[in-house]
Amino acid sequence: MNRQQAELLLQQNFKLPKFYDEQWKTIDRVLNGGRVLLIEKTGFGKSLCFQFPATVFNGTTVIFSPLIALMRDQEKKLQSLGIAAKCINSEQTPEENSQIIEEAKRGKIKILYIAPERQENNEWIEATRQMHLSMVVVDEAHCISVWGHDFRPAFKRIINLVKLLPKGLPVLATTATATKRVEQDIAQQIGGGITILRGNLMRENFKLFVAKVNSEDEKMIWLGKNIEKMPGSGVLYTGTRIDTEIYSKWFNYLNINSTAYNAGLDANSRIAIENGLMKNQWKCIISTNALGMGIDKPDIRFIIHTQIPQSPIHYYQEIGRAGRDGETAYIILFYNPNEDKKLPEAFIEGGRPSIKKYEKVIECIKTGLFSEREIIKHTNLKQSQFRVIKADLLEQGIIREVNYSHSKKYEFVPNSQSLNTKAFEELRAAKTKDLEQMIEYIDTTDSRMKFLCDYLGDNTNHVFTNCDNTGEKKIKVIVADEWTAKLQEFRENYFSELVVESRDSNIINGVAASYYGVSNVGDAIHRSKYENGGDFPDFLLRLTLKAFRKKFGNEHFDLILYIPPTKSGDLVKNFAEKLSQVLKITISHNLKKVRETKEQKIFENNYLKHENVSNAFSYISPSEIIGKKILLFDDICDSCATIKEIGKLLTNLGAIKIAPIVIAKTVGGDLV
Amino acid sequence: MNKETAYWMSLAHELPAWSFSNQSGWKNEDKINLIIQFYYEKKMTIEVFFSLSKEVWKTEFLLSEQRIAELQTCKLTIANYSFLAENMESSGIEAVPLISQDYSKTLKENLKKSAPIVLYIKGNKQIMSEESVAIVGSRDASDIALQFTDNIAKSVSEKYKVIVSGFAKGVDKQALDSSIACRGQSIIVLPQGIMTFESGFKTYYKQIIEGDVLVLSVFHPKAGWGKDLAMARNSIIYGLAKEIYVAEAKPSINRQGKETKGGTWTGVVDGLKKGRTIYVRQPENSEKNDNKILIQKGAIAVDNKGNVILKDSSKYVQKIFSF
C-alpha cells in the first residue's frame, strides 16, 4: 500500500486528511512487518501509527497499555468512528472481560487494548491460541526500562513476549518520554532489528514558570489567590495523597471548584473524575502523579506542581498533557529550597529496603510456595517494601511469579545469580543525578524548554521565548495579611476524615483532629505517651472537640467508649473522660482486651495489624450496647485496624452507629 | 529464553498428524526429516526456514503443495504460540527442542525418529544427562511389587542414578516417593500437558528448586490427562531410561469392561521388540500377573532386590551390571 492509497483509507475511516511525514514513515514500516520504536511528543498522533495499520490488517491488533484511562478514552473514540475497538481491564467485571475475549476469538475486534498484567491471565492465554493476531503494540514503552521514570515490572513479560513473536509480525513501541539511555535500553530489549524514529520534543505553546517560595503557606496563598485567574481548567500536582486532600479542602474553603484525585480512590470515583475533567467540570483537579499519563484531553490550559518531581523526565511527562491542542498552556513549578528536595530524596534513598530485607524474602521463598500476603506475614514487611523487593528479585531472575489456580505464588529460581546490589547502587546514583538535573532546571537562567529538550536528547537549535527566563514575566509570591489570616482560619477548621466504613459493620467514617508527624499535635502526643509528659494537654482536647463539632455537629451519642491501650497507661481513658464531661455523653469503661496484643506500630503491614487485634476485644455488659449510638475514641490511628475491629464487635452486639474520633492520624502508607 | 520456542511448538503441534483416517498427515518421522534437512544439512534456523518463500520450500526441500499449505497454516499459529510460550516460560517451564544440547541424548538414541520434537520441562534439566533407570508397573500393584520398587529406587539413588517414572498411582508413585525419601533424583514423565500439572508443581516445589526433580511432558502444554496420552507417555519413560525395571504387569479393564493387557505390558513388549534389555521381577507362584509371561517373552528375571536370576540356575546369581 502506498501513501496515496493509505491516505484515501485514512479519510474514509478516520476522517483525517493526511499523515504527517513521520507518521507515514512509521506506518509504512509497520505495514511491511517491521519493528519500530517511535518517540514523539504528546499530541503528535502516535496512536494513529498503530490504529491505522490495525484497520488495514486482517486480524486483531493487541495494544499493551498500562493506562486504563487511556484505554477507555481511545476505545470510545475509535468506536465513534465505527472501528471495532475494545479494552480488557481490571476495572471491568470478569463477565465483561470474558465477553470481549469471546468477541476477539471470533475475530470481531480489530483493536484490543489490554494491560500488561493480563499476560498472567489463563483465560487471556487461552484466547490468544484462537485469535488471528496481526500486530503487537507496546504503548508507553518507557515502562520497559528501569532507567526511565516509570518502570513497571509487568512490562518485563511483554518484552519476553515480543522476543518470542515471529519475524515479520509488526511490533510498534511508542513513548513520549525517553532519554537516549532509555531509548537504547528499549531498543536493545525489543531487539529484532528495531528501527528507532525520534521526533522533536519541544512544546512551543507551553509557557514555563518556576516560582521559588519559602513555605507551603506561600504556595497555598498564591494558588488560592490566582488559580481562578488562570485560563480554562487544569491540573495541580502535589507530592502526596494527603496534599491532594489538603489543597482540595483549601480550594473548597475558598469556593474554588476543584476535586482531589489519587490512586487511593476507588475505580468508580476515578472514572467519574476523569470524565468530569474531560467536561471541564472543575477549574482544577488536584492530583498525585496517578493522574496524567493517558488523559487525552486537548485543552488542559495549565499544569502546576506544588512539589518538584524526581527528574526532568518525570516533569516533562507530567506537563506533557497540557495544551495538546497547540494553544497556550501555563506550566508552573513551585519550589521551596528549604523543604521540597526532601520528598524526592526520600523516594530515592528510602525507595529500596535494606539488603537484609531482600535476604529475608529470598529465604522465605526458598522454604515454600507462598503468596504475596503469606510472604508479607512471614517477613513482617510493608506491602510497599515487599513490592519493591519483589520487582527487583523478578528483574534479577532470582524469583519468579507463577499463577496457581488464580493465586499468584512466588518461586525461587534454582541456580539463579545472587542478589546484585551493585545494580541498586547504579540506579540510585542515576536517580540522584536526575534529581540534581531537576534542581538545575529550577535554577537555570536560560530557556527552560531548551533545558528539557537537551535533557531528553533532543538537541535543538531552536530559539525559545516561552519561559520566565526568556521574556515571560516571573512569578513573585507576595503574602498579604488578609491571606495569611484566611489560611490560618482554614487550618483551624480543617479536619481529616477517618475512612473506615464497611459493609459488614455499623461503623461510620470518623474524624481526626490532626495529623501525627507533621504538626505540634504529634509532638504533644509523643511527649505524653513516650516521655512521661503526663496527660494529653488541653489544647488537644479543644482541637478534638472542634473536630467533633465539625464532623458530627449536634448529633446525639449514647455512649463514649475508648480503646483499651497496649502500653500508655490511662492517657486515653483520662482524655475520654474529659470528652465525656464536655460533651455530656456517658462514658463506659466496659470495652476490654481479652488477650494481650502488641503495639500496632511494630507491624509493617495491614495483614499483621489485623491479625494482632482480631478477636482481641470484648464488652463486659453487652446488653448496654443494644440500639446505642457510640462515639469511639482513640489517641492515634494508623491503619485503623483496631477501630474497624471494635466497630465489628459493637455491631455484632447490637450498636446501631459507631463513630470514631482520634486526636491524630499518622502520615504514612501510600503516597500517590 | 529461546526466541524460537514458538516456532518449535507450532511445528510440534500444528501440523495435521498421520492417522489411519489421514494417511497424508505428518508422522513424527516426517517432521524429523524436515528438521534434518533445514537444520543439519542446510544449517538453517527454524526462524529462517519459516521465513522462506513457498517456492524455496518447493525447490529446495522438495515439499508437496499440500505440505507447503500445511506449513503455511502452521506458520500462522506462531504468533499465537508466542503468547503461550511466554506464559509458560514465565512459570519456569522450558521448551527443549530436538536440536537443543539440553535434549536428552538417551531419549534420542532410544526413540530415534520417534523422538518428540519438543520436551517441556520444569526443574533441573541436568538430570536428563545422568544415568537413568525406569521403574514401571501397575497402578494397582501388590505390596510385594511396591517393596520391589522401593528396593530398586533406593539402590539406584544410592548410586546417583536418576529414577524415571510416570506420575500414576502404584509403582510410579512408589518409585518417586522412594527416590525423594533418600534424596535421589527423579524425572516425572507426565501423561498430560505440563501446564496442567499445577498441583504437582506445588507438591514437589521444594524438590524442584533443590534440583532433585525434573517434570517432563511431550504433549501440548495445555493438554489435559487422557488415557491415550498415558499410553503414549510410556514410550517416553522407556526412552528416557538406560535400564528398565518392571515391578508388576497386570491386566486392566478398558472402558468397554474388557480385560486388556495394560500399559506396562504394551511398553515392555514394544521395548523387547526394539531390542531393549528389560528386567522383570520374578513373581512368586501365587501372584496373578503377567510378569512370568514377559520373562518368557525375553525379559530378564530379577529378584526382589534387582539381582538377575539366571535361567539355568536355581540359585540367585549376582548380575554383573552396574546400576
**Which of A398, A419, A440 is the last residue before a domain boundary?**
A419
Give the domain range for residue A308: 206-340+432-488
* Structure confidence at residue A294 (pLDDT): 58
Q: Flag whether pLDDT at B264 surpasses 90.
A: no
Q: Flag whether pLDDT at B315 surpasses 50.
A: no
Please, what's the largest Cα pairwise distance for chain A? 85
* Structure confidence at residue B236 (pLDDT): 94
Please give, rounded to a whole number of angstroms, the shortest distance from the CA of B199 to a CA of chain A.
Answer: 8
A376, A302: one domain: no
| Best to test chain A binding among B7, B87, B126 (most A CBs inside 10 Å) | B87
CA distance B101 to B105: 9
Nearest CA in chain B to A161: B86
| Best to test chain A binding among B2, B82, B121 (most A CBs inside 10 Å) | B82
Cα→Cα distances B124→A408, A421, B118, B128, B173, Å:
22, 27, 17, 8, 20
Cα B191 to chain center, whole Å?
9
* Structure confidence at residue A533 (pLDDT): 81
**Which of A419, A444, A472 is the last residue before a domain boundary?**
A419
CATH code of residue A83: 3.40.50.300
Query: What's the total number of domains in chain A?
Result: 4
**Which of A181, A198, A215 is the last residue before a domain boundary?**
A198
Mean pLDDT across the stretch B41-58? 96
Among A128, A369, A414, the residue with its CB nearest the CB of B211 is A414
Chain B environment of A409 (Cβ under 8 Å): 202
CB interface of A with B, residues 254-313, below 8 Å: none
A225: number of Cβ within 10 Å: 17
Q: Flag whether pLDDT at B85 surpasses 90.
A: yes
Higher pLDDT, A491 or A642: A642
Chain A environment of B91 (Cβ under 8 Å): 400, 402-403
CB interface of A with B, residues 408-447, below 8 Å: 409, 411-415
The residues of B whose Cβ lies within 8 A of any Cβ of A are 1, 3, 5-7, 47, 50-51, 75-76, 78-87, 89-92, 123-124, 198, 201-202, 205-206, 208-211, 222
Name the grid cell of A241: 495523597
Does A165 contact chain B (CB < 8 Å)?
yes
A391, A507: one domain: no
* Confidence tier at A670 by pLDDT (50, 70, 90): very low
Of A556, A509, A558, give the one whose Cα is nearest residue A660: A509
* Structure confidence at residue A672 (pLDDT): 43
A374, A457: one domain: no
Nearest CA in chain A to B79: A165
A308, A409: one domain: no
* Structure confidence at residue A517 (pLDDT): 58
Among B78, B84, B209, the residue with its CB nearest the CB of A125 is B84
Please give, rounded to a whole number of angstroms, the shortest distance from the CA of B195 to a CA of chain A.
Answer: 10
A257, A140: one domain: no
Q: Flag whether pLDDT at B161 surpasses 90.
A: yes
Does B7 sit within 8 Å of A166, measured CB to CB? yes
Residue B41 DSSP symbol: I
Q: Flag whether pLDDT at A33 surpasses 80.
A: yes
CA distance A13 to A290: 33
* Confidence tier at B320 by pLDDT (50, 70, 90): very low
* Structure confidence at residue B311 (pLDDT): 67
Does A164 sit within 8 Å of B86, measured CB to CB? yes
A190, A226: one domain: no
Residue at A427 is within a domain = no
Residue at A425 is within a domain = no
CA distance A553 to A541: 16
Residue at A671 is within a domain = no
Question: pLDDT tens digit string along A545-599?
Answer: 999 998 998 899 999 999 987 766 889 999 999 999 999 999 999 999 888 888 7
Chain B environment of A133 (Cβ under 8 Å): 79-80
Chain B environment of A161 (Cβ under 8 Å): 82-83, 86
Question: pLDDT tens digit string along A283-318?
Answer: 999 998 877 655 678 899 999 999 999 999 899 988
Nearest CA in chain B to A128: B80
A514, A554: one domain: yes
3-state SS class at B179: helix
Does A160 sit within 8 Å of B86, measured CB to CB? yes
Q: Flag whether pLDDT at B318 surpasses 50.
A: no
Mean pLDDT across the stretch B285-291? 87
* Structure confidence at residue A666 (pLDDT): 79
Question: pLDDT tens digit string along B107-140?
Answer: 999 999 999 999 999 999 999 999 999 999 988 8
Mean pLDDT for chain A overall: 89
Q: Is the dihedral of CA A467, A473, A476, A480 positive or negative?
A: negative
Does A401 sit within 8 Å of B205, measured CB to CB? no
CA distance A370 to A368: 6
CB interface of A with B, residues 356-375, below 8 Å: 366, 368-369
Does A395 contact chain B (CB < 8 Å)?
no
A86, A182: one domain: yes
Nearest CA in chain A to B3: A164
Of A120, A161, A121, give the one whose Cα is nearest residue A138: A161
Q: Which of A434-448, A452-466, A648-662 has the lowest average pLDDT?
A: A452-466
How does A382-400 read in b/e, with b if 16+ C-beta sit within 10 Å? bebbbebbbbbbbebebbb
Q: Flag whether pLDDT at A604 surpasses 80.
A: no
A566, A658: one domain: yes
Residue at A629 is within a domain = yes
* Structure confidence at residue B314 (pLDDT): 47
Name the grid cell of A64: 499493551
* Structure confidence at residue A587 (pLDDT): 95
Residue at A369 is within a domain = yes
Does A165 sit within 8 Å of B82, measured CB to CB? yes
A516, A645: one domain: yes
* Residue A387, H or E segment: helix A383-395
| Best to test chain B binding among A132, A133, A136, A164 (most B CBs inside 10 Å) | A164
Does A130 contact chain B (CB < 8 Å)?
yes
Q: Which residues contact A636 (CB under 8 A, 6 or more apart)?
A: A516, A525, A662, A663, A664, A665, A666
Cα B115 to chain center, whole Å?
9
* Structure confidence at residue B316 (pLDDT): 45
Among B51, B89, B124, the residue with its CB nearest the CB of A168 is B51
A372: number of Cβ within 10 Å: 17
- How many contacts, defined by CB atoms under 8 Å, are there between A and B? 91
Tell me which residue has cell 520444569.
Answer: B122
* Structure confidence at residue A366 (pLDDT): 95
A151, A247: one domain: no
Q: Flag whether pLDDT at B50 surpasses 90.
A: yes
Whether B246 contacts B228, CB under 8 Å: no
- Tell me the sheet residues that pair with A207: A330
Among B3, B205, B208, the residue with its CB nearest the CB of A164 is B3
Does A128 sit within 8 Å of B84, measured CB to CB? yes
Whether B120 contacts B194, CB under 8 Å: yes
Mean pLDDT across the stretch B100-113? 94
Residue at A441 is within a domain = yes
How wide is the angle at C-alpha A196 spanned by C-alphas A190 and A198, nearest 5°? 135
Of A547, A630, A616, give the one whose Cα is nearest residue A588: A630
Phi/psi at A63 (nearest 5 deg)?
A: -115, 115
A231, A145: one domain: no
Does A400 sit within 8 Å of B83, measured CB to CB? no
Does A165 sit within 8 Å of B91, measured CB to CB? no
Higher pLDDT, B71 or A616: B71
Does B202 sit within 8 Å of A369, measured CB to CB? yes
Does A163 sit within 8 Å of B198, measured CB to CB? no
* Structure confidence at residue A292 (pLDDT): 66
Nearest CA in chain A to B86: A161
Q: Which of A252-266, A574-588, B171-185, B194-208 has the lowest average pLDDT?
A: A252-266
CATH code of residue A407: 1.10.10.10
Question: pLDDT tens digit string along A204-231?
Answer: 899 999 999 998 899 999 999 999 999 9
* Confidence tier at B10 by pLDDT (50, 70, 90): very high
Question: pLDDT tens digit string along B301-310?
Answer: 999 999 998 7
Among B3, B6, B205, the residue with its CB nearest the CB of A368 is B205
Chain A environment of B126 (Cβ under 8 Å): none
* Structure confidence at residue A459 (pLDDT): 81
Among A166, A168, A402, the residue with its CB nearest the CB of B82 is A166
Residue at A623 is within a domain = yes
* DSSP string for A314-351: HHHHHHTTTTTTSS-EEEEEEE-TTTTTHHHHHHHHHT
CA atoms within a 13 Å half-sphere pointing along the CA-CB vector of B192: 13
Residue at A58 is within a domain = yes
Q: Flag whether pLDDT at A370 surpasses 90.
A: yes
Among A130, A164, A404, the residue with its CB nearest the CB of B6 is A164
Question: pLDDT tens digit string along A73-117?
Answer: 889 999 999 999 999 988 888 899 999 999 999 999 999 999 988
Q: Flag whether pLDDT at B1 surpasses 90.
A: no
Whether A409 contacts A369, CB under 8 Å: yes
Among A163, A168, A415, the residue with its CB nearest the CB of B3 is A163
* Confidence tier at B227 by pLDDT (50, 70, 90): confident
Alpha-carbon dihedral angle through residues B264, B268, B274, B276, given to the nearest 10 degrees: 120
CATH code of residue A635: 3.40.50.2020
Chain A environment of B1 (Cβ under 8 Å): 160, 163-164
Whether A560 contacts A588, CB under 8 Å: yes
* Structure confidence at residue B288 (pLDDT): 85
* Structure confidence at residue A241 (pLDDT): 84
Chain B environment of A131 (Cβ under 8 Å): 80
